[in-house]
Amino acid sequence: MLTERLAAIANEIEKGESVADIGTDHGYLPMFLTKEEISPKVIMADISKGSLNKARRNCRELMPEVKFDFRNGNGLRVIKKGEVDVIVIAGMGGNLICDILGRDLGKAKSCKKLILQPRTAQGRLRAWLVRKGFDIVNEQLVREGRFICEIITAVPGEPRESIKLNLEPESIKWEMPYWVANLKNPLVNEFISYKIDRENRILKSMENSKNIPAEDVKAIEDNIVYLESLL
């Protein structure tokens, strides 16, 4: 039932933990957690009525004996403070995830853990989490089609000193932090190499253009040096 990406998210959830799946879409993750008796309570939430109806249909077809909790609404507004142990937000952009958590920071900090899978702006999300008082306790890389997905698990509390990077959210060191580079995962080198290729393409484009500030070119060159040091 689960893709490798959703299975990796499910592996971060411990038996007995209640879960709110924000942006549930098809509802496959909550159904799996219920079927495997991992979570005693799951909430399927989505701002889109169409997506929530899709989840309802899947539940009726695949698990008609279970009465699921469906909630239509924006972000964390559909749950109460402290209502669940785990909040999952997967498959959205990192900027949107920051906005969702930031609008209801008290609710985000009332849970035991956040499991986040940003499609974009992963570095900005990491920086936001650390600066808002979350500790990043685990990261995973998982292939989905031609993409490598990043899964971030964070818990409320003072971040460890080792992940407090005194850098702008746009820094390459937030996008590809050393702790991700150190993962014992066969995708790591491929992921770093992809980013090096991207930065080299940007550098070549700059070299072919006029009036590019020298400091901008130097910044990209520094990014490449840093990424290559991780291999």
DSSP structure class, residue 157: S
- The reported pLDDT for the residue numbered 145 is 92
Distance CA 175, CA 208 (A): 26
- Nearest C-alpha neighbor of 223 from the set 192, 207, 199, 188: 199
- Whether the model clears a pTM of 0.85, i.e. scores above it, the answer is yes
Percent over 70 (pLDDT), the chain:
100
User: Contact, 120 vs 94, CB < 8 A?
Assistant: yes
List beta partners, residue 110.
Answer: none
* Segment 136-141 long-range contacts (CB within 8 Å, at least 24 positions apart): 136/163, 136/179, 137/113, 138/12, 139/179, 139/180, 139/183, 140/8, 140/12, 140/183, 140/185, 141/180, 141/183, 141/185, 141/187, 141/188, 141/191
What was the pLDDT predicted at 54? 96
Domain ranges of the chain: 4-165, 189-230
Q: Name the nearest CA neighbour of 43 among 62, 57, 60, 23.
A: 23
Looking at 3.10.50.40, 3.40.1160.10, 2.60.120.200, 3.40.50.150, the CATH number of the domain 4-165 comes to: 3.40.50.150
Give which of 200, 99, 108, 91 is closest to 142, Cα–Cα: 91
pLDDT in tens, 1-35: 799 999 999 999 999 999 999 999 999 999 999 99
Question: pLDDT tier at 38 (50, 70, 90 boundaries)?
Answer: very high
Residue 210's pLDDT is 80
pLDDT given at position 159? 96
- Contact in structure between 118 and 150 (CB atoms under 8 Å): yes
Q: Rounded to 5 degrees, what are φ and ψ at 118?
A: -80, 140
The values of phi and psi at residue 207, to 5°, are -65, -25
**Which band of pLDDT confidence, cut at 50, 70 and 90, is reported for residue 84?**
very high
Least confident of 129-138, 201-210, 220-229: 201-210
pLDDT tens-digit readout, 40-68: 999 999 999 999 999 999 999 999 999 99
Helix (H, G, I), strand (E, B) or coil at 99: helix
pLDDT of residue 14: 98
Stretch 98-123: mean pLDDT, rounded? 98
Q: What is the pLDDT of residue 211?
A: 87
Average per-residue pLDDT in the chain? 97
Q: Which pLDDT value is given to residue 196?
A: 98
Place of tokens 């130097």: 218
The string of pLDDT tens digits covering residues 150-175 is 999 999 999 999 999 999 999 999 99
